[in-house]
Structure 1
């Protein structure tokens, strides 16, 4: 049994490392003339496809997810079960998340936790696409709890591959794939539970990747206004992404013979399509600006982000009665090589989060080496 689990984990690590390398090289090689739109991505993928065995060349039907998110098949969220170990490496956390995909990150979901006068707002953690609560926050969550915060999270946007969840669903625990409108409603359900259980008036949110626009959708359209004090985003796709790395991976998978002929959404998943810059989702989401009144925003991007790119698109512009601090992770700390996945395993990111949550108690930012695709100073 243990040998089988080790084999599964080893294969998974090999797969994700290869995928990440493909994503990174694809992003780096992207030409500026490639349109960063769903249609442009489809044409970009098609331009390098080889004919199938019967002589036909696959074509992609672009579905931008322009509806309300209320499709015939709905995504859903689930509670975590049990708690996994603290991790300093993303790859190690990812491996554990494959074998225990519903585990909570350590320190999270203690429903007996009560906020204090010094830290009156619980912290809600929102994971990204193809990730889960554990492998996203196994490093951040326990340190937030030790700093005195009540921490809560869930696995949102769950959807099967055949229902529109995309090819990432072949591996356990790959969530955050359903329509982001539905995921925002699921976030709202969690926030209401946290407020009711803790007696707090507001929560603070730490969001990664897709968690950024999901949080904005919640604040703007799903009843979140007034319930959130601070939003801290890491690699958040606040204005979409060119997705060129994922497009390169998609072309590679197609040429390897995966039968996705005639489809685009089943390859990437609904949420990924919505995150393409220029999609209908972002046209609606940001029509009246990036922020909502009364919220303090911190948005952190990394120059080595191979998925949310250009990384500057994660930054926000403050609207009325909102504040924004945009931070490039490498500014003042060039030795931090965090990519899109390991940004949550960076000691500098942790210090940024703590300073944003409680600047009086955590005024200083730290700087340490954080390797690409490993994280946590390279510790496994």
Structure 2
């Protein structure tokens, strides 16, 4: 049990709180959408035809995008955010401002309803999904199993837990899981979504069983050498399957001085640059 408590604390550190030396990270309650987001009268332009939907990570909320959303809106994108995955059955999930603790498949269906609302409001046939951490996995679940394949043109994964996390080595993916495993015990503290993101989980095995990608979608996958959730950081990368393209990008290959960690990466100017290039290959700017 003591190890289970330690595991829970480490999960909280790895997937939620920034590490020492990280960029400033400010929490908000998620009640109000970020500046520039959720303008339901926004009409996509020929230059930026895909509405951009931003998906936060585990125990976070839509205010994770308070930096990136206004940047994209100022550049002419229709930007949308939501809080998803509220589940108060766990200790962390019951806390104010904490979302994305519930079952990832259910969250993907929730996101799917939001995608349809955005498509109806904007008249766009497809959208671009940008997911941070769990948000990337939710997006991939949506396009693979929840009817999103023909509704998404681009999918951007920001340090997505695409192949799981070992929580700084505390989880041994070779160990046989039992009902009394520390992972199972700790689920009541963290919520099922955190459990589903562990290396070797049944959820991730099913998600990745037929490859990493879906045909017809352009993927951009962003990793950082200061990511303290995926180990190694390249574990977030995806392999392109038939009919899909994948651009795997390491933040420090563009800006060696970028030290934003897993939780604070949505605030990184380098990430903003990569996202803008993914949405518009003709974008010019300074990655640092």
TM-score, normalising length: structure 2:
0.86
Q: Which residue of 1 aligns with 2:166?
A: 242
Is the aligned partner of 1:108 residue 2:29? no
| SS, match of residue 206 in structure 2 | helix
TM-score, normalising length: structure 1:
0.66
Is the aligned partner of 1:226 residue 2:160? no
Q: Which has the larger radius of gyration?
A: 1
Judged with a 3 Å threshold, the aligned counterparts in structure 2 of structure 1 residues 22 and 183 are, in CA distance, closer, same or farther, namely closer
Q: Which residue of 2 aligns with 1:344?
A: 266
Is the aligned partner of 1:324 residue 2:258? no
Alignment of 1:108-127 (within 5 A): 108-127=37-56
Could you tell me how far apart the structure 2 residues matched to 1:90 and 1:270 are?
Answer: 28
| SS, match of residue 204 in structure 1 | strand
Is the aligned partner of 1:131 residue 2:60? yes
Aligned 8 A contact 2:132 2:159 in 1: yes
Gaps of at least 5 residues in structure 2 are: 1-8, 172-181
Alignment of 1:8-47 (within 5 A): 19=13
Is the aligned partner of 1:263 residue 2:182? no
Deviation for aligned residue 1:245: 7.3
Deviation for aligned residue 1:342: 1.5
Aligned 8 A contact 1:265 1:273 in 2: yes
Q: Which residue of 2 aligns with 1:156?
A: 84
Is the aligned partner of 1:174 residue 2:78? no
State the superposition RMSD in angstroms: 2.4
Q: Which residue of 2 aligns with 1:142?
A: 70
Could you tell me how far apart the structure 1 residues matched to 2:17 and 2:102 are?
Answer: 21
Deviation for aligned residue 1:139: 0.5
| SS, match of residue 344 in structure 1 | helix
Alignment of 1:350-365 (within 5 A): 350-360=272-282, 362-365=283-286
Could you tell me how far apart the structure 2 residues matched to 1:177 and 1:20 are?
Answer: 15
Aligned 8 A contact 2:196 2:203 in 1: yes
Gaps of at least 5 residues in structure 1 are: 1-14, 26-88, 248-259, 368-380
Aligned 8 A contact 2:161 2:236 in 1: yes
| SS, match of residue 232 in structure 1 | strand
Q: Which residue of 1 aligns with 2:202?
A: 280
Q: 1:194 aligns with which of 103, 107, 118?
A: 118
